[in-house]
Amino acid sequence: MKKEHKHVKSNKKYGMVIDLDKCTGCGACMVSCMAENNVPFKADESNKLDSITWMRVYKLTNDKPYPDTEICYLPRPCQHCEGQHEGHSPCVSVCPATATDYSMETGIVSQIYTRCFGCRYCMAACPYHARYFNWWDPVWPEGMEESLNPDVSVRMRGIVEKCSFCFHRYQRAMEKAHFEDRHELEENEYQTACTQACPSGAITFGDLNNESHAVYKLKKNPNAFRLLERLGTNPKIYYVSSREWVRLAGDNYRPDEKMTAKHKPAKHAPAKQH
Amino acid sequence: MDSALIPKGVKRCSIGQFALFMGFFGAIALWGVYAMLLCWLKGLNQTNMNDYYGFALWIWADLAVIALGGGAFFSGFLKYIVGKDELKNIINYAVLIGFICYSSALLILAIDIGQPLRGWFIFWHANVHSMLTEVAFCLSCYFGVLTIEYIPLILENRQADKVPFFHKLSHNMHENMAIFAATGAFLSFFHQGSLGGVSGVLFGRPFGYREGLFIWPWTFFLYTWSAAAYGPCFTVLVTKITEKVTGKKLVKDNVIELLLKISGWMLFTYIIAKIIDTWYWASVTAPAAGFSLIDFYSNNPFYGIWILLLEIVIGGIVPALILITEKGRKNKFAMALAIILAVIGVCINRWVMVLQVMAVPVMTFDSWVMYFPSWQEIATTILPVAYGVLLIGISYRYLPIFPQEIELNPIEEDTVADKDAEGDVVVGENLVEATEEG
Ligand code: SF4
Ligand code: SF4
């Protein structure tokens, strides 16, 4: 029963570096993610509190009056948190049915749709709101079933889903590699749909531990930060921004520590999402 | 008509009145059942929960009823382990209330999960590191214990008791009750604690997260403590309501006072621990995550600092101070006030530890989200209350729940149970016939 949890130690740690200076907020990543992963949608998607967006682009503002107003778009996939010790993600640690798993091989947090029974404890645990519940059974517009991705199972009502880093693409790439008697993947062999769809090249995906992968260097950018690092979630999505207010918006700071914060801003006003 | 089933030596209302009473609460229960079926058949889109409120009214109801049902394990612990023998006069009722609370919690959980048919996965694919797994295991086991504790009571029904096998079975079960009570207390210490752990371990949610001892956050201990403190208050509150409705005194004052005295001291020590916990969380744990206390209580239309004060001062310190003084316990009004405030206090604690945890934005560019339950959620939450009233109604009528009832309410003849009550009685106000001497 527990065989699948045999911890395969590997040094791979897939993650992303998202350059917020490049993101234009076009939403191509969201669209490609929905199409790639058969994400269900409703006829009316205006209520964002119960619609599913594995990748969601937030709009941040520095909340300053014109002419100092600035905005920033921030794409937010699942952060594939590693936690303080490997695999202690906020969500994985709480799931009572082991229906969400931390892969020791890739660092990817996966969701086992057929095992999840919909208690939503993982949603309560995730501070990034990266998890979504299927409040309805998926309904596809007529004919759309034909164009669903055959590599990704559709989900039923009553269970939780979230970004998988297009894990099926990893599986496909690994299959090919094994067939060719290789054990390692080239950087371009496994890329997520959003990375490939981003027209401005804001998203870079790869193995954060692999020196030959672009993300390895990009994450060391002095302007790189992660969301809510202080909570100890240890996410694998890095963001880069040359603007201090954006970097500061990545975490919470008390008023008394604003001046000593790592990314000390000249004059900081809290970022707001609109 | 049903006098043969009514315990000897006690007086009950007419069957007609009883049927009216049952019909009224039965109708409410049916409304709940209808809502429950809607949720099961159509899914959780029947609720007002959403991706920000994955945990909402139902989880609160679960935590609250389990805390309130804590009177069963704690009075069992006091009677059988500590040896407070007087509590034998209220233990049956505490067990019945506990049974209702726990069966309600299991029912609500069954409605709350998105895939009820997969509910057993929690046992089959158990993740031993999850607090919810511990809750599921201990809760189910303890419900088993409560059932075992309730069965001998059922067997004491006048007719059931005539069957020699049942008579002996109930006698033997009574003999061994200490073992079950001890098991129940042990299991309760764990599941009450793990329920506290549910929010305490959420290190991604600074409002709920607490540091702790080894794998247990402080809320683990606080929940067990608070269930032991507040649970008996609820047992007494329900007893007092039952006395009001039946118009009879059912438990002697010394028993109530003893239970409330212990409960009061538990409450007093709990609230000190809770204040220390809150202070440490507000000055060390939350600031380490970049939050000041006021961040959790401002910029939103509902959650102000008032809720913290209501929980700790009005629902904690005040009832504790009343209950630890003899004067407070002996004064009817003060005592009633104390137990009502205590019940409110614990319900608010459970509320904030579920709902406010969900409401507080964690990402700086996120915002507070408010929630109001749908009628289906409300109906399914009222369902257990109606079910509880029904079960209490049946149990009170047909089982010797209160050992002191006969002594406290002597009657000349035991045939009066059939006699019609005089005058019209408003259903819901008068469960059973109001005897003059009540
Ligand atoms: S972002 Fe949320 S869902 Fe993704 S790994 Fe972290 S806690 Fe889990
Ligand atoms: S909703 Fe599913 S994945 Fe999430 S904690 Fe519950 S069983 Fe696990």
Q: How many domains does chain B have?
A: 1
d(CA B52, ligand 2 centre) in Å? 15
- Read off the pLDDT band of B178 (50, 70, 90): confident
Q: Return the best residue to mutate from A53, A55, A128 for the ligand 1 pocket (most ligand atoms within 8 A of CB).
A: A128
Mean per-residue pLDDT over chain B, rounded: 91
Q: Which pLDDT score is estimated for B413?
A: 56
Domain extent at residue B176: 2-437
pLDDT digits (tens, 9 = 90+) for B207-264: 999 999 988 999 999 999 999 999 999 999 999 999 999 999 999 999 999 999 999 9
CA atoms within 13 A on the CB side of B392: 27
d(CA B376, ligand 2 centre) in Å? 23
Q: Which of A60-69, B59-68, B156-165, B284-293 has the lowest mean pLDDT?
A: B156-165
Distance (Å) from the C-alpha of residue A146 to the closest C-alpha of chain B? 26
CA B285/CA B288 separation, integer angstroms: 5
- Considering the entire predicted model, what is its pTM? 0.91
Structure tokens at B217: 């956050």
B85 burial via Cβ count (<10 Å: 0-12, 13-18, 19+): exposed
Q: Give A97's contacts in chain B (Cβ within 8 Å).
A: 118, 121-122, 124-127
Q: Which pLDDT score is estimated for A186?
A: 94
CA B356/CA B370 separation, integer angstroms: 9
Q: Would you say residue B58 has pLDDT above 50? A: yes
CATH class of the domain defined by A14-267: alpha beta
Q: Give A231's contacts in chain B (Cβ within 8 Å).
A: 203-204, 206, 289, 362
What are all long-range contacts of B136-143, with beta carbons under 8 Å and residues at least 24 apart?
Answer: B136/A96, B137/B191, B138/B187, B138/B188, B138/B190, B138/B191, B138/B194, B139/B66, B139/B102, B139/B105, B139/B106, B139/B191, B140/B106, B141/B187, B142/B73, B142/B102, B142/B184, B142/B187, B142/B188, B142/B191, B143/B99, B143/B102, B143/B103, B143/B106
Residues of chain A with pLDDT below 50 are 1-7, 263-272, 274
C-beta atoms of B132 and A94 within 8 A: yes
**Which of B365, B297, B395 lies closest to B18, judged by CA?**
B395
In B176-252, where does DSSP find H-type helix?
A: 177-200, 218-246
Q: Would you say residue B416 has pLDDT above 50? A: no
- CA Rg value for chain A: 19
Q: Which pLDDT score is estimated for B188?
A: 87
Q: Is B50 on the interface with A (CB under 8 A)?
A: yes
CA B30/CA B32 separation, integer angstroms: 5
> Would the CB of A80 count as within 6 Å of ligand 1?
yes
Cβ atoms of A95 and A160 closer than 8 Å: no
pLDDT digits (tens, 9 = 90+) for B8-38: 889 999 999 999 999 999 999 999 999 999 9
Concatenating the DSSP letter of every residue in B272-307 gives HHHHHHHHHIIIIIHHHTT--GGGGGSSSSS--HHH
CATH of the domain at B386: 1.20.1630.10
What is the residue extent of each domain of chain A? 14-267
Average pLDDT over every residue of B41-70: 96
- Read off the pLDDT band of B403 (50, 70, 90): very high
Interface test mutation site (partner A, options B62, B63, B127, B296, max chain A beta carbons within 10 A): B127
Q: Which pLDDT score is estimated for B15?
A: 95
Q: Would you say residue B190 has pLDDT above 90? A: no
> Would the CB of A132 count as within 6 Å of ligand 1?
no
Q: ipTM > 0.95?
A: no
